[in-house]
Structure formats: structure tokens, C-alpha cells
């Protein structure tokens, strides 16, 4: 499989506090990798390194086989959509202006192309047409998150980085957004890195799940592997509930089969 993102022996410290110890992993092109771990384990730090918001102290990161060290930041970010929880939207811009921000930079001369892109992505994430002229403060939290996702996707990125994007929404909206994101993922073939605190969400959305604790990888594998063969006590406890009541969606059931109290690989 072709590698889209590769971390090779990445280390990062803030002052004398080591946050990432020696991080090495590879994300295949077209994968949907969910990252889960305890608070402060370095998930956001790792994510920010992919689009150059932070730099490793040691080690290297490769995107499509190319070392991003010293690479032009603007170019790097052009291929990477970044959606984070909270104040991601420009508050002084309307929904339309927020979503068209990057497309405007990309096709300066073709305004119609930008308008079409805005319409398309608003439709895909399920935002009503009449929301275009509203400001972020005039939207609900869930709607703001949809705008954030639309804005990240409107640049047609090869990579989508999402840091707890569905953190602040109710269960129902969250389930809807999950379904929409899965559809977008399948339609576009984008490679996704998705940080979450919710193990059910990590297992449901991820083609692979990366479990982190204290700056180290505990396990990196398919959902069924985490459930069947937890590599550490941390992973075993994290997935204990799911092992009892497995919430994997139907298309993942092909990966494993339930027998009594545990999952077996088919
Ligand atoms: N700019 C900074 N200066 C100093 N320490 C920092 C800085 N940013 C993050 N840290 C520390 O680095 C560690 C990792 O932070 P990071 O944001 O990557 O964790 P996380 O896994 O995303 O946590 P959470 O699940 O709570 O979002 C934490 O202990 C945090 O306090
Ligand atoms: Mg974080």
C-alpha cells in the first residue's frame, strides 16, 4: 500500500517535558485513522506536526514519501484540511465567506467555480442554503462544526486532519455527522486522521485505530485487532466495554465474528 503520512522516530518536548517519545507509524493512502488516548498523551501535538503548525525536535515526517522538513508551509497546507473543535471559524465572516476562503485563494479568477464549491460542500455536510449569509455566532454548535468541516473539505485536500470535531454536539447530531463524514470519506477517497476521546467513535469510524498513552503508541491496528488482541493493559481496559457489547457497523462485521464473549477474526 502507498504511504500517505509517515512519522519516523518523531520526538517532541515542551521545555523539559517530553510529549512524544519516539513516534513511528504509517498511514496508508485512503485510510481513515482514528487516534485515541488519555488527555495530554500528545494527540493534538502529533496532528499539528502533519501540517507544519509544530515541528519535531528529532525525527522526520513524510507526506506522499516526501520529507516535509523545510517545506513551504503554504504549499503544505494547501493539500491538508484542518478541522478542530471550538473557534475554527472566522467570526467576522459569513458562512459562505468562511467556506469559500481557500477556494477563493485557489481560483482567484473564477468566482463561479468558488460559488459552486460552496453550494456543493454545504449540501454534502447538510447545511441549509439560507445559512450562507449568517455569521458563526448565529449558528448552533453542531452547525458551526458542519461549516468547519465544509471549509476544511472545500479546498479538496488529500489529507483531512480532524481534532475532536464532534466534541460539542449531542448524541443524535454526532451520529448524523459521523454518517456524513463516512459518506464524504468514501466519495472523495481522502486520507483522514481523526482524534477522538470516544472509543466507540474510534472503532466505528476508523479503518485503523492508533492508541496513545504518555507520548507512546500502545497499539495501532484494525478495530477488530484492538478488540481481539489488545496489545497492552491500557488497550484492554479501553476496549473492555466494546468487547462485551460490540458496536461495529455492519460493513465491519465482515472483519470479525462474534462468538460468546469475544470477537474472532473471520
Ligand atoms: N505550547 C505548549 N507548551 C507547553 N506544554 C504544552 C504545549 N502544548 C501542549 N503541551 C503539553 O503537552 C502535552 C500534550 O499535549 P496535547 O495537546 O498534544 O495532548 P492531547 O493528547 O491532545 O490531549 P487532549 O486529549 O486533552 O486534547 C500536555 O501535557 C500539554 O500540557
Ligand atoms: Mg488534544
| pTM metric for this prediction | 0.85
89 close to 41: Cβ distance less than 8 angstroms: no
202-225 residues labelled b (16+ CB within 10 A) or e (exposed): bbbbbbbbbbbbebbbbbbbbbbb
Q: For residue 117, what pLDDT is reported? A: 85
Strands (E), 38-87: 58-63, 66-67, 80-84
Nearest ligand to the C-alpha of residue 42? Answer: 1
CA distance linking residue 78 with residue 157, whole number of Å: 7
Can you tell me the distance from the alpha carbon of 59 to that of 57, in angstroms, rounded to the nearest whole number?
7
Q: Tell me which ligand sits closest to the C-alpha of residue 49.
A: 1
Is 39 near ligand 1, meaning CB less than 6 Å away?
A: yes
Count Cβ neighbours within 10 Å for each residue of 105-142 and write b for 16 or more, e otherwise: eeeeeeeeebeebbeebbebbbbeeebbebebeebeeb
Q: Give the torsion through C-alpha atoms of 31, 32, 33, 34, to 10 deg.
A: -170
Which ligand is closest to the CA of 48, given by its number? 1
Which three cell numbers, joined as nine digits, stand for 173? 447530531
Residue 41 CA to ligand 1 centre (angstroms): 7
Q: What is the pLDDT of residue 266?
A: 31
Rounded to the nearest angstrom, the distance between the alpha carbon of 112 and the centre of ligand 1 is: 41
Instruction: Choose which residue among 11, 17, 40, 57 to substitute to test ligand 1 binding: the one with the highest number of ligand atoms within 8 A of its C-beta.
Output: 40
Q: What domains are there in the chain, each with its CATH number?
A: 1-79+158-223 (3.40.50.300), 87-156 (no CATH)
Residue of 12, 16, 42 to test ligand 1 pocket, by largest number of atoms within 8 Å of CB = 42
Q: Which atom of ligand 1 is nearest to the CA of 15?
A: 4
CA dihedral 26, 74, 54, 21 (to 10 degrees): 20
- For position 254, what pLDDT does the model report? 42
Q: End-to-end CA distance of the chain, in Å?
A: 22
Instruction: Write the burial class of residue 196 (CB in 10 Å: 0-12 exposed, 13-18 middle, 19+ buried).
Output: buried
Determine which residue's CA is closest to atom 5 belonging to ligand 1: 14
Kindly give the parts of the chain with pLDDT less than 50: 250-251, 253-266
Q: Which of 43, 164, 216, 217 to mutate to test the pocket of ligand 1 (most atoms within 8 A of CB)?
A: 43
Q: Whose CA is nearest to atom 7 of ligand 1?
A: 14
Nearest ligand (C-alpha, residue 45): 1
**What is residue 257's predicted lDDT score, i.e. its pLDDT?**
40
Amino acid at each position: 500500500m502507498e504511504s500517505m503520512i509517515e512519522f519516523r522516530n518523531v520526538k517532541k518536548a515542551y521545555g523539559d517535558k517530553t510529549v512524544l517519545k519516539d513516534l513511528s507509524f504509517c498511514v496508508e493512502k485512503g485510510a481513515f485513522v482514528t487516534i485515541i488516548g488519555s488527555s495530554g498523551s500528545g494527540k493534538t501535538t502529533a496532528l499539528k506536526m502533519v501540517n507544519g503548525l509544530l515541528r519535531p525536535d528529532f525525527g522526520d515526517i513524510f507526506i506522499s514519501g516526501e520529507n516535509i522538513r523545510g517545506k513551504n508551509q503554504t504549499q503544505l497546507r494547501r493539500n491538508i484540511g484542518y478541522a478542530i473543535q471550538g473557534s475554527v471559524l472566522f467570526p467576522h465572516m459569513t458562512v459562505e465567506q468562511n467556506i469559500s476562503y481557500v477556494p477563493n485563494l485557489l481560483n482567484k479568477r473564477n468566482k463561479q467555480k468558488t460559488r459552486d464549491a460552496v453550494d456543493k460542500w454545504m449540501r454534502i455536510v447538510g447545511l441549509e442554503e439560507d445559512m450562507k449569509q449568517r455569521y458563526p455566532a448565529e449558528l448552533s454548535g453542531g452547525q458551526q462544526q458542519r461549516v468547519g468541516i465544509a471549509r476544511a473539505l472545500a479546498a479538496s485536500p488529500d489529507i483531512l486532519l480532524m481534532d475532536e470535531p464532534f466534541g460539542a454536539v449531542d448524541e443524535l447530531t454526532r451520529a448524523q455527522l459521523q454518517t456524513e463524514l463516512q459518506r464524504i470519506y468514501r466519495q472523495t477517497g481522502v486520507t483522514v486522521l481523526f482524534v477522538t476521546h470516544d472509543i466507540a467513535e474510534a472503532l466505528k469510524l476508523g479503518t485503523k485505530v492508533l492508541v496513545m498513552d504518555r507520548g507512546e503508541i500502545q497499539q495501532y491496528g484494525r478495530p477488530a485487532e484492538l478488540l481481539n488482541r489488545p496489545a497492552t493493559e491500557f488497550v484492554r481496559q479501553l476496549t473492555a466495554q466494546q468487547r462485551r457489547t460490540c458496536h461495529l457497523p455492519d460493513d465491519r462485521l465482515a472483519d470479525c465474528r462474534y462468538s460468546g464473549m469475544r470477537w474472532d477474526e473471520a
